[in-house]
Amino acid sequence: MTSANKPIRSARYGMTIDVDRCSGCGACIVACAVENNVPPAHEGATDRKGLTWIRVYKVDNGAEYPDRRTAFVPVMCQHCGNETPCVHVCPQQAVDIDPATGVVGEMPQRCLGCRYCMAACPYHARYFNWWDPAWPAGMEKTLNPGVTPRMRGVVEKCNLCHGRWHAAKEAAAAAGKPDTEPVEYTPACVEACPAGAIHFGDLNDPASVVAKEAAETESFRLLEKLNTQPKIYYRSRNSWVRQIAAAPRPGAGKEKNRG
Amino acid sequence: MNTTRRQVLMFAGGSAVGVLFTPAPWRLITDTALWSENWPGIPAPARGEIRTRFTNCPLCTAGCAVRARCVGDQPVELAGVGGHPFSRGALCPFGIVGHHLPYLPGRVKEGPVKEAAAAAADGIAKCRSSEFVATLDLRPGRTASWTYRRAMKAIKNGRYVAPSVDTQVAVDLSKARTVLSFGVPVLDGWGTPGNVNSARAGFRLIQIDPVESRTASMADRWLRVRPGSEDALAEALAGQIPHAAAADASGLTVSEIAALSKELEQNGPVLVLGSSQLESTAGTVVARRETPVPDEWKKAAPATALASLPDRSVRVLLIDESMPGGYLPWNAIARKLVADNPVVVTFACSREGYARHANYALPVGVYPEVAGDIPASIDSVAAAFRIAAPLVSPPHGTVNPEAFIAAAAGLSIGDTLRERADAIHKSGRGTLFTYADRKSQAVKIVTADDFWKALNAGGCWIDEPAAKASAARLTFAAPAQQQVEESELPLAIVVTRELAPGLPLLSKVYQESNLRLAPGRVALNPACGLEDGSPAVFETLLGKCSVGVTLDSGIPPGVVQVSGTPALLDLCGDGARAKVVRA
């Protein structure tokens, strides 16, 4: 219960991703799908029509061997903090920003599937649900009860594991903690990363690891020139990796069916 | 009054325009979205008590500790156990979706168990003195492996066959300042992910690889060599052949080889992986103490290499492929079978492996349905004992391979895991680490019952370090020799690490994104003349099969990278070269 006398301290949840540590194993992609009940690929799915709330792009410096260098860049919704493009264009108010967390949320119940938000998102971090969600027989028993599967025809995206945030809020309330303070929780991709490349926390808290890492000189954000103020920060010691932040889409190429 | 067609059209048009000024159509659109949310085709997650349970992942030798979030008894989410002294809270993508394994599409769910038992018994009875009954164990070192060895000892002419894995040799990454890897996927599935990542800052990784593998791209230095030239390079670094000879073979320059040799000299200790031609610095490879076993087990049959068995000599072959492990190409196995009616029984969860060739494919319980132990991984200096405790029940009709093979040999076995745990407890060595409270305690102060309960409820035994680590040597299989003219089969084959057998959610990393090579696909240089995604035929000396083509600029011309699926591995057995042509 909110105290009437104490102002709510807003959080600004964000991440720092150490690109130099990411091995591109895909654990974050798979853990995200398990946590958020994202169905396995439909047989017609491609890397353009797939449903992955977080996607790891393989990028290189464009040079030939022996000067060729490669890196893996996980990209999810960047949770823009300024002039959030997808919020502006949604005709159904299906996208909003939670003032308590700074998380850009998506309400599939309101979504019409017009995909304006996908066109507006400069990070290509939103995905359209082209097919009915389907799991192999029996596997539906393994669905996470904290997250509702979405229907065909709506747009989905990362919400920084809203279900986990909600559970943390409930646990904090049950423990008698005031709900005026941000809660600590860990999104699935952060928990799953075996290399410990992803850190998560409150960017408004100057003592947090993410706030400190975000302020370091080797940190950068994708397409910073757009001034959308993303809350996902990347880090790399390599200047060529930092330069890819200006590219429209890491690893952009023609549609490929890898299945 | 007559109604004209013009009036009807005006009324319809006016109505259509007018209705747009009412809330009705907009409400209808919103409601359409709401209705679709409740389509009966969308599965509803199960409801029930949320519990946390612990186990260990047996899907590879890393045996990472697992925390399972369960609804009732059904695991819905797997994660690592933070604070674990070795796996350190990490879990690979395969381990994260391990709870989907019981629902594998195409899982072997039924099989002729009685017929297989009768055929095996008949084959054993008819086995001549020059013939063998063999058990092929793809995951040696387990407690079940000891049962197989004991069973083969009990059978006249019994042979226990396992891939050449020395379970008593380990590498100490913390002692190495340089790791020189000849194609070993150090950062992609080799060893224990949590341990490798925690040790990564302490060593410089030099990867010798024909293709830009994941490890090559993450290494401090990647040296691209011609496939099959790794031994020549290692010999040059060992001073056995001139640098110029290795340069000719590998495609590197003499100065690159000299610089590498100098770097290895200056930046030791050096751990060498993937080559037996070059010695690691003392201390980086150690002999690991054996996990205790009951004394009566020690009279078991020794492990035999498949190649050492005479051709056409195996009358009965029992294959345990119930857990993912190594894969021996079928042609290497087939030539060991007798010509007249050999009996091949495989215990498998999928029909993609040896079940394609066996007389009998019997269904088995899979993780997390059945209990089994996981031997210590290659990067664990201390011996360990972890049990993959079952979280759900196996379906009716599955077979326990250990019990089947013991029964075939007339060997009476009890609860072998418990007997092994008791032997470990009796030794009094090491510590017990329990996952729920993340505490370690000496085995000496724990009762045998509590030790057993803790191992099954989420815990592991870690041996104490040996008083003095003794040196050991890693051995690696020599690469297959090229036996054909390059003009016939122009492509050298490089096999990638195998992914999980068709686990649906792993499609996220190869179908819905481009992170890994999908099963049944081959990767080629973009200049190969084929189109990305096009169907093709992959052909070697051993046969051919249909594949999909992926173009990857990380693959040099003259090389084909194949996904490690059994159907493709069967074709890569003795032929190190291939050709890929348009279908």
pLDDT at A254 over 70: no
- Locate the DSSP E strands across B2-139: 50-56, 65-71, 74-80, 132-137
Instruction: Return the minimum-mean-pLDDT range out of A97-106, B135-144, B569-578.
Output: B569-578
DSSP 8-state secondary structure symbol assigned to residue B350:
B
Domain B491-582 classified CATH 3.40.640.10?
no
In chain B, CATH 3.40.228.10 sits at 173-282
With the CA atoms of A116, A120, A125 and A129 taken in that order, what torsion angle do they form, in degrees rounded to the nearest 10? Answer: 10
Residue contact B511–A41, C-beta within 8 A = yes
pLDDT at A230 over 80: yes
Number of H helices and number of E strands within chain A? 7, 10
Chain A interface, best mutation among B42, B78, B391, B521, by max A CB count within 10 A: B42
Instruction: Return the minimum-mean-pLDDT range out of A56-70, A230-244, B297-311.
Output: A56-70
Helix runs in A64-180, H state only? 85-89, 116-120, 162-174
Cα B208 to Cα B181: distance, rounded to the nearest angstrom: 6
CA distances from B372 to B104, B116, B136, B348, B421 (A): 20, 23, 17, 15, 12
In chain B, CATH 3.40.50 sits at 113-166+290-462
Summarize pLDDT for B325-366 with one digit per residue, the tens.
Answer: 778 889 899 999 999 999 999 999 998 899 999 999 999 999
pLDDT at B440 over 90: yes
- pLDDT for the residue numbered A109: 84
Residue scoring higher pLDDT (B403 or A48) = B403
From B214, B511, B514, residue closest to A23, measured CB to CB: B214
Domain A13-246 classified CATH 1.10.4190.10?
no
Q: Which residues of A touch B39 (CB under 8 A)?
A: 132, 151
The pLDDT of A213-217, averaged and rounded, is: 95
Chain A interface, best mutation among B221, B511, B532, by max A CB count within 10 A: B511
Task: State pTM to two decimals.
Answer: 0.90
Per DSSP, the three-state class of B315 is strand
Sequence spans of domains, chain A: 13-246
Fold of the domain spanning B50-103: N-terminal domain of TfIIb (2.20.25)
Class of CATH domain B173-282: alpha beta
Cα A39 to Cα A152: distance, rounded to the nearest angstrom: 11
Asked if residues B172 and B86 have their Cβ atoms less than 8 Å apart, the reply is no
Q: Which residues of A touch B206 (CB under 8 A)?
A: none
From A38, A136, A254, residue closest to B105, measured CB to CB: A136
- pLDDT for the residue numbered B473: 63
B509 interfacial to chain A (CB closer than 8 Å): yes
CA distances from B485 to A15, B451, B491, B495, B576 (A): 54, 60, 11, 20, 11
In chain B, CATH 2.20.25.90 sits at 50-103
Q: Which residues of A touch B507 (CB under 8 A)?
A: 40-41, 45, 259
CATH architecture of the domain covering B113-166+290-462: 3-Layer(aba) Sandwich (3.40)
Q: How many CB pairs under 8 A join A and B?
A: 208
